Every structure is written in C-alpha cells, then in structure tokens.
Amino acid sequence: MDEITLFLSIVVAGFSLLLSIVSFVAYYRLHATKLFLVGLAFLAFAAKGALVVAGILNQDKFTLGIDFVILFFLYFATIKK
C-alpha cells in the first residue's frame, strides 16, 4: 500500500468513526431507529478501514461483501419510517 492510499484509508476510517459517534449520540437523544442503523453502517466502515490500514484486509470479495452489508444498513435506514 502506498503512502497516499494509507493516508486516505486513515482519513476515511477516522471520519467514519466520528460519524458513527455522532449518529449514536443522536440516536440516544431521539431514539430513532434510522440513526442507529446509520451509526452501525458508519461503524462498519470504520472497522473495515482500520483493518485495511493494519494490513489485515485487502480489497477482495470479502471486503466487497462488507461494503454490501454497510450499504444494506444505509438503505434500510433511508426507507425506515
């Protein structure tokens, strides 16, 4: 992994972690299921980013499956009434 890819992976993981914290705080205050699902999706992005930065994961079919699960959470968060 080159330096730019590593830097961008760290930024994405950190930003995802920050957004998940904000989502969970908002869920705690409003008790809206949508916010909980969005928080889970951002937390999954943060976990995946941390594993990629640590060199445990590479972009392959497994990580594409993780991306699909994250998109699944975001999709259901948007259609949940």
Range of the domain at 62: 3-79
Query: 6 and 49 in contact (C-beta within 8 Å)?
Result: no
**Quick one: which H or E segment has residue 65?**
helix 61-79
Q: Is 55 left (phi over 0), alpha (psi -120 to 50) or beta?
A: left
CA–CA dist 11, 8 (Å, integer):
5
pLDDT tens digits along 6-54: 888 888 888 889 989 999 999 999 999 889 988 998 898 889 889 888 8
pLDDT greater than 90 at residue 79: no
* Buried b or exposed e, range 60-76, using 16+ CB within 10 angstroms: eeeeeeeeeebeebbee
Number of domains in the chain: 1
